[in-house]
A = this chain, B = another copy of it.
Amino acid sequence: MLKVIAEDFIKPEAVEIVLPLYRELVEQTRTEPLCIAYELFTDQKNPGHFIFIEEWPDRAALDIHCRTEHFTRLVPLINAHQRQEGTFILMDAIA
């Protein structure tokens, strides 16, 4: 099992533009047969800081996700409003 935290940093003035794009990305991703969990959050103290918490069976499933039509179409539209580069952490469960 692979757990992922992916963080995006969007210009605060673009939040309303990216929200429908994020919602479509989440909706479409959850239809992927290998997607176990895909949730999106915002940082209470930092407008435009979006955080995905994801669960995939393995790295191969994540790679398939990153090649889907919805990912390759929507992520560049979202990233056009970045204020800094996104980050991600691939994680193993301890407890």
Contacts and interface: CB of A to CB of B under 8 A. Distances in A.
Interface of A: 3, 5, 19, 22-23, 26-27, 39-45, 49-51, 53, 89-95
Contacts of A91: 41-44, 51
How many copies the complex holds: the figure is: 2
Nearest to A53: B53
A18 to B, nearest CB: 10
Contacts of A3: 41, 53
A42 B5 contact: no
B26 A95 contact: yes
Contacts of A27: 95
A22 to B, nearest CB: 7
B23 A95 contact: yes
B95 A51 contact: no
A27 B90 CA distance: 23
Contacts of A40: 93-95
